[in-house]
Structure 1
Amino acid sequence: MLIDAHPRNAWLLRMVRRRLREEFPKLQVEVNEEKSRTVDLDRAESFGLLGVDFRRLRSIGRQVWRAHYTPKLKKRTGLLRKLKEVFRRYQWQPVDGVMQLIDRVLRGWANYFAVGHSSECLSFIKDWGEKKIRRHMGRSRDRRGFGWKTWSRHWLYDEQKLFNGYRVRRTTTLKASPA
């Protein structure tokens, strides 16, 4: 739970802690005290939860502090490793089969992490995947390079149906009312 760090909201932090201590036993949820901690985003601390890294940054336009959350680098690296393994394992297979395999992986990963401020990460994944597909097609035809002129983006995404849903979903932030 994110709470404004202004001193006038210190009571809210105490109330949230107390309320959570009351409600968790009813839900049969145990708090792991070793992993649980209070993070002060004012001091540039960050925390990770479910593969997402949360921190506080100043916005570019209005210079307002805001919560910033992106996929953890470890998760992105894990995805790239998984895709590399697919390309390595199916190196001599037809491109259609390889595209179906990576399509499922990319679709799942992008749908999970397409929240917050992950557009830069998603753009990186999209470009990386496209280059790998192009390299795979070039190798299957004994060609060098990535085939930018040979295989257009239109051909890849519209005709071959390579996954292209890398849009970040914007959600409205729900504000909690005092307990």
Structure 2
Amino acid sequence: MIGRGASFALLGFDFRWKRSPKTGTWYPNTNPRRKQVIEVLCRVRYVLRNSRTLAVQSAVAEVNVIVRGWVNYFRWDNSYQALDRVKRHVELKVRRFAAKRAKRGASVGSDGVWTSCTGTRGLLNDYRVRYHAVLKVGLPPSGTITLVR
């Protein structure tokens, strides 16, 4: 049995019953597992480290493939914090990669190198959360859900 406040992990998501601060009702909260966020960030780091001989456009294209697939899978419900973390990390890593390729140092701010990465070179910028229709299902009177095997 899973009571209010309990959680479980399934298919890369954490499912947890949470109380809404506005209405006080309980709702199922789904977030990507922290392990999944760390895994995609490690994959991006690996691609950029092994792309030192490639042009920035080619490296960004490889990063986009990884990040686009991850974002499309995890962009549901309450994942905006995880998506924002991934977005900030990927932008920082690509900016550092482009700065090193331009031989300007790793601490380049928002200058021509950065704008060329997001603008003309096509770094993924679609991290919007998609919401799906939620069925209006109330909890049983006991406040627990029984899983049947």
Name the TM-score class by shorter chain. Answer: 0.7 to 0.9
- 2:21 alignment partner, SS class: coil
The one-letter code of the counterpart of 1:49 is L
- 2:2 alignment partner, SS class: coil
Partner of 1:39: 2
Separation in 2, partners of 1:101, 1:152: 18
- 2:104 alignment partner, SS class: coil
Contact kept? 2:68, 2:124, Cα under 8 Å: yes
Separation in 2, partners of 1:141, 1:158: 16
Q: Which has the larger radius of gyration?
A: 1
Gap change, CA 1:97 and 1:103, over 3 Å in 2: same
Contact kept? 1:92, 1:140, Cα under 8 Å: no
* Equivalent residue for 1:120, pick from 58, 77, 81: 81
Structure 1 residue 154, shift from structure 2 partner? 5.4
Gap change, CA 1:96 and 1:152, over 3 Å in 2: closer
Q: Percent identity, please.
A: 28
Runs of 4+ in 1 over 6 A off after TM superposition: none
Q: TM-score, normalised by structure 1?
A: 0.70
Partner of 1:172: 133
Partner of 1:80: 41
Gaps of 5+ in 1: 1-37
Separation in 2, partners of 1:109, 1:127: 15
The one-letter code of the counterpart of 1:65 is W
Q: Would you tell me which structure has more strand in proportion to its own residues? A: 2
Question: What is the alpha-carbon root mean square deviation over aligned residues?
Answer: 1.9
Aligned pair count reads: 137
2:101 is the alignment partner of 1:140: yes
Partner of 1:11: none
* Equivalent residue for 1:51, pick from 12, 21, 28: 12
Considering Cα pairs closer than 8 Å and 6+ residues apart, tell me whether 1 or 2 has the greater RCO.
Answer: 2
Q: Would you tell me which structure has more helix in proportion to its own residues? A: 1
Separation in 2, partners of 1:45, 1:160: 44
Gaps of 5+ in 2: 138-149
